[in-house]
Every structure is written in C-alpha cells, then in structure tokens.
Amino acid sequence: MNFEDLLTEQRNRHSTHIDEVSSLEMADIMNREDQRVGRAVQKELPNVARAIDAAVINFNNGGRLIYIGAGTSGRLGVLDATELKPTYGLDDDQAFGIVAGGMEAMAKTIDGAEDNSKQGAEDLRNVKLTDQDIVIGITASGTTPYTHGALAYAAGIGALTIGITCVADSPLEAVSSITLCPIVGPEVITGATLMKAGTAQKMILNMLSTGIMIKSGKVYQNLMINVVPTNAKTMQRAKRIIAAATETSTLAAERALSRTNNNVPLAIVLIETKGTIEEAKRLLDAADGHISKAVNLSDNVK
C-alpha cells in the first residue's frame, strides 16, 4: 500500500480554495466536512458493539485497557485512558496510554518514533502484556509501523487487539481481532489527520471505553457512580449522584455516604433496598458490583 494512495492523504475537492475565502466560509467548509464524521462513525456501530462486548470480558477478568499509537493518534489514546481514572474510579494500572517516543511525545514531535515497529512491541513487552489485556491500536492511515508492530506483538501474546483506523483494508486489520474503520474521507487540509480522522478516533474511543465502563458496572442509570470523594468538589458530586439515583434528598444522600465510608455504589444500594449495610454489601457482591442487578436482587426495593 503506497502512502500517497491512502484516502487520508488525498486532496479534498471541497477545500481546494480554502486559502482564498473569508473566515466564515472557511469555518463553514470545515463544519460541513466535520458533519461527515458522525455518519462515518455511525456505520461502524456494530463493530464498536462487538469490541465493547469482547473487551468487557477481559476487563472484568483483570485485563488492562492499553492504548497505543503515534502522534495525534497516540495522544488521543493517552487522553482517553487518563480521563477514565477520575471518572470511573480506576486504578492507574487498569487503563493507560502509550505513545511512540514516550511521554515526551505528548508535547512535541519525536522524529522517527512512529517508524519503529520493534519499539511498539518492546513498549508492550515492558508493561508485561498478558493474554487478558486489551490493546487498542490507533492509527489514521492503518500503516504506522510503531502501532502495527505493537498490535502484532499483542496478537502473538493472545491479547484482545482492537484497531482503529480511517483507511479500509489497511495492514492494521491483519493484526486486529476487531477493526473499527470510520471512512471520513480526505482532510480539509491534505494529510492533516488531526482533523476529521482525529475527531472520528476520539468519538470511537469515547464510545468504546464508556461502553466497557457501563457493562462492567461503573455506571448506574446514566450516572458515574464510581466517583471517589476526595475533596469538596467530588464530595458534593457524590451526594448529587446518590440523590439523583435514589430520588431522595441531598441530606439523605450525605447520611448514606457517611454510613458507607464514602462508597457511592454501596450508599445507593443501601437507600434503594432499605436494608442494612451488610445486606447491601452482599447484594453488590452477588451482582458483581452492578447496582441495577443488586437492586433487582433485593425483595425490599422501595
């Protein structure tokens, strides 16, 4: 596959004179192209669902979410992993991102880093990859040697490999258990894959990781119930979440939170089932941490 023939490297006929138009026309051209992204991602929803279902099995068995890529793609992976920790109460080793060139590459370009396929494999070897881990390889072109090398190594280990690219029939597919491929077309600025391709990757990463969190019991209704109250802001958020989930007062939420030693899921089950703390703990354990299942198991639902 010749790099210059990739769809992500083609010229966009809608923006060939973008350097000659007004700022409003310029913004309109970019906005029209951005609207194609949502439609391209929509076509990949069945594959996104497959990836969520496969990944949650490994994640619930102790597997880690490991994002890996180069440049913009790698940075988007680090961003998604980083945001999961405070949002869903994950430990540092449950989800993390690896970018070609190391964390220094988050702020600047490291020349040649994306061309080293052996380093992609070595970076995964250094985190002691196992067959229970989930490796998400992100590359707009589907040809980045670093990312391909990483996923090839992960596939050889037996890990679940999920490839995210914007080019069909790319080499990435051969090393991916599941490939997510939104075809967004040529960029407004030729080859600037931080634009539509980057937006599509961000959207898919959001859906993928959020879906895994939901199915692993870290969401109740549409509330992020694994928030850890560590300061005044998160304490207030925890109270609001409990009150909203149980349709009760903030005062009642505060009391339940205090009784459960700041455990939001336990506080919700305690209020919803009107039982004891010990009973609420048993219900949560029986439901593998899923609040909705725990509530349904109780005979004391209000």
Instruction: Supply the pLDDT for residue 23.
Output: 97
In 149-198 the beta strands, taken as DSSP E runs, fall at 160-164, 178-180
What is the rounded distance in angstroms from the CA atom of residue 290 to the CA atom of residue 253?
19
Kindly tell me if the per-residue pLDDT of 2 is higher than 90.
no
User: Is-contact 198 182, C-beta < 8 A?
Assistant: no
Instruction: Supply the pLDDT for residue 302.
Output: 46
According to DSSP, residue 1 is labeled -
Instruction: Supply the pLDDT for residue 87.
Output: 87
Q: Do domains 3-215 and 232-297 have the same CATH topology?
A: no
Q: Which of 33, 44, 114, 272 is catalytic?
A: 114
- Give the tens place of pLDDT for each residue, 240-292: 999 999 999 999 999 999 999 999 999 999 999 998 999 999 999 999 999 99
Q: How far is CA 90 from CA 48, 77, 86, 184, 242, in A?
A: 22, 16, 7, 32, 19
Note the CATH architecture for domain 3-215.
3-Layer(aba) Sandwich (3.40)
Q: Which of 83, 173, 254, 279 is catalytic?
A: 83
The CATH number corresponding to 232-297 among 1.10.760.10, 1.20.272.10, 3.40.50.2020, 1.10.8.1080 equals 1.10.8.1080
Half-sphere exposure of 133 (CA within 13 A, CB side): 26
The interaxial angle of helices 232-246 and 250-259, nearest 10 deg, is 110
Q: Pull the structure tokens for residue 119.
A: 């380093």
State the amino acid at position 59 in one-letter form: F
Q: Pull the structure tokens for residue 52.
A: 């969520």
User: Is 279 an annotated catalytic residue?
Assistant: no
The size of the chain, in residues, is: 302
- Give the tens place of pLDDT for each residue, 126-178: 999 999 999 999 999 999 999 999 999 999 999 999 999 999 999 999 999 99
Task: Say how far residue 250 (Cα) sits from the centre of its chain.
Answer: 31
What is the rounded distance in angstroms from the CA atom of residue 101 to the CA atom of residue 119?
9
Mean pLDDT score across all residues of the chain: 93
Place of tokens 């990781």: 209
User: Is 247 an annotated catalytic residue?
Assistant: no
User: Is-contact 238 229, C-beta < 8 A?
Assistant: yes
What is the rounded distance in angstroms from the CA atom of residue 40 to the CA atom of residue 247?
38
Confidence category of residue 301, pLDDT binned at 50, 70, 90:
very low
- What is the residue extent of each domain of the chain? 3-215, 232-297
Kindly tell me if the per-residue pLDDT of 37 is higher than 70.
yes
Mean pLDDT of 49-69: 97
